[in-house]
Structure 1
Amino acid sequence: MYVCLCNGITDKDIIAAAEQGCSSLVELRKQMSIANDCGKCRKQAINILREAQPKHKIEDNDLLIAAFA
């Protein structure tokens, strides 16, 4: 599915970037210029990126949060 119509970026492109280590919108913008034009795709791109994060990253973040709670 197309996420960014301005730049022709799909959800599969975002998932592939996440699998290669991309973990933020800033990094995603550097790699593929998403959300740099009209910005309507920003929220959806962030959600897809979060869902595509490797499980170990999420677990590591949960442990870090728990350590400071």
Structure 2
Amino acid sequence: MYVCLCKGITERQLKEAIAEGNTEFMDLKRELGVGSQCGKCIPVALAILAEETAKNAVFYEVA
């Protein structure tokens, strides 16, 4: 699925960039250019970022 039509960025590209350590929106903007033109993709990109970082989060049990 295309997330950013202006730059032709797909959901897969976003997920790969997040997996490579780009865990802040500004990292994705710098790396891929997402959200750098019209901005309509920002809410979807942020949702994907939140979903992917939650999957990769390490939870610690408090004793």
Same fold (TM over 0.5): yes
**TM-score range, shorter-chain basis?**
0.7 to 0.9
What TM-score, normalized to structure 2? 0.85
SS at match of 1:34: coil
Q: Deviations over 1:1-33 (max 9, x none)?
A: 000000000111110011111111100001011
What are the residue-to-residue correspondences of 1:1-69 with 2, within 5 Å?
1-53=1-53, 54-56=56-58, 59=59
Gaps of 5+ in 1: 64-69
Q: Matched residue pairs, number?
A: 59
> What's the secondary structure of 1:3's corresponding residue?
strand
Give the deviation of 1:55 after TM superposition.
Answer: 2.7
Query: What's the Cα RMSD here?
Result: 1.5
**Structure 1 consecutive aligned stretches of length 4 or more whose deviation exceeds 2 Å:** none
Runs (5+) with no aligned partner, structure 2? none
Structure showing the higher helix proportion among its residues: 1
TM-score (norm 1): 0.78
Residue 26 of structure 1: SS of its match in structure 2? Answer: helix
